[in-house]
Structure 1
Amino acid sequence: MNNTIKLLLIFITTQILFGCSATRYISSIFHEEVVLIFTSSSYPDEVFNSKTLPPRQATLIFGPYMPNLGDGGGTFGGDGHSYEGTMEGKEIVALWQVPVKDKVLRYYVRSEPDKGIIRAPREGHSTYSVGVALGPKRVEPTGLTQDQHLSAEISHRNFYNKPILYRWGEWDKLYYATGIFTSAELMEIPRKFYEIQGIAITAEQYNKLYERCNGEWEAVKCFMDESFPNLTPEQLAYIQSRKHSDDDDRLAGKFLKPVEHVNKWL
């Protein structure tokens, strides 16, 4: 028996003596126990609590995770999710609706089949983080690079008219980062974000997709296909470029319906 195995057994025994779970420790060697998913989204002239415009909404599929985003707006915030499976190379899908002055913005993003999630090293941590911006992100002045400051907009000023929050990013793109960080660090420290091009969609298309993604099939059928109404040539080309090999089987119900995930660590 080599020294590594001996040390592992000694450590596990110690954890048991102190009332900890050896099974939990062994699990954490191979993957994180908790995934923190933080999201941000900010558009100019957003309208809140409108009586005539539909509400702000956001839906995200990030590999095996489907966090409850609420309206998805504001600075980076979120919560933890117990480990549900590897995210490396997995699919990303998002749709969001934002009422702004005199109109409603609606966007859809799907990763290409061979360009799934790029996952940063876990570095032995039991908690792993994901940061996602649906369109422009909202961060503090220090959270942008010098180049980003050139195209950023001031989102909020303090009492003394000093800018304290900035908005940066293209309206129809999703940005994401993975690694070991907090929501505060996403706000305060520049970080490399990968980007995925999205496309604008109509209210009719959005509503059909929203029902798919938030119905009983959730992530299984959460994507646009050629059956969607009134597709423009640009939309059709986007859908076809994002088509996955198992799409037809997913729509045909050949996959199992998702089951509610129970956090076994609570």
Structure 2
Amino acid sequence: MTITTVDASTTSADGTRIAFDLTGPARGLAPAVVVVDGVLAHRVPVTLAVASLLGDRVTTLRYDRRGRGGSSDTPPYGVDREVDDIAALLEVTGPAALLGISTGAFLALRAAADLGSRVTGVLCYEPAYDVAGGEPPTDPRMIAGVEACVEAGDPGSAVELFLDLVGMPCRLVPRMRASPSWADLESIAPTIAYDGRVLAEIALGRRALMGRWHRIEQQVVVAHGAASAAGTATAARSLAAVLPAARRVTLPGHGADVPPEAMAEAVAGLLGISP
């Protein structure tokens, strides 16, 4: 059976064009899931493989977060605007679960808190922050440092700064700069600070997510790779512990190397369909 993936776009509340692809049945004919990517990612191959494996049992929507790929951007940035983007996508799919990856897990949880029954559940894959750790939710360089590089017309340095923050050995950076993907990373470098603000709002501000865990009543699955770093498992455990209706699962592999079959099975479990 051939599963068709269709490219399209919708418009968010502030007029931003949000590009997406849709795999599987039309609205209302199957449960739906919207993929919320993490920092410096948009519509990565593993999630397309997951969409293909879910096939006609699930309507899978993958989108480019604002400022990435085929989506436009409208300043000033605000996390609420990214929640509006998800709301616009839910107009396409109908009520849907969210698959949030890395920093995207916290954006998905923010949407679950804000959008209520329009979000039917959340799968958080390798959330990027230990909510019980007591440390600041994000290094300030991920916002101010990145924004300074971008404003100076040096997006490459913004990407390098982020890679340093996540612990990439400096000897590997020249190899990354020489890769075909570097130009794409530079083009979406401003959005690194967006993810920094998503993380900052976990704990900071009037509408801090930490103060609203109780509002996330949807089923939540928090997943991490069996071969991922110990800190990743710790972050997953800490997040599952604070959410009212959460359970934790371990998938084979790690990071983007998780087998698509395992991710598809986790999505199917969240949606209550056979794997």
Q: Normalising by structure 2, what TM-score?
A: 0.26
Larger Rg: 1
Structure with more of its chain in strand, by fraction? 1
Structure with more of its chain in helix, by fraction? 2
Q: Normalising by structure 1, what TM-score?
A: 0.26
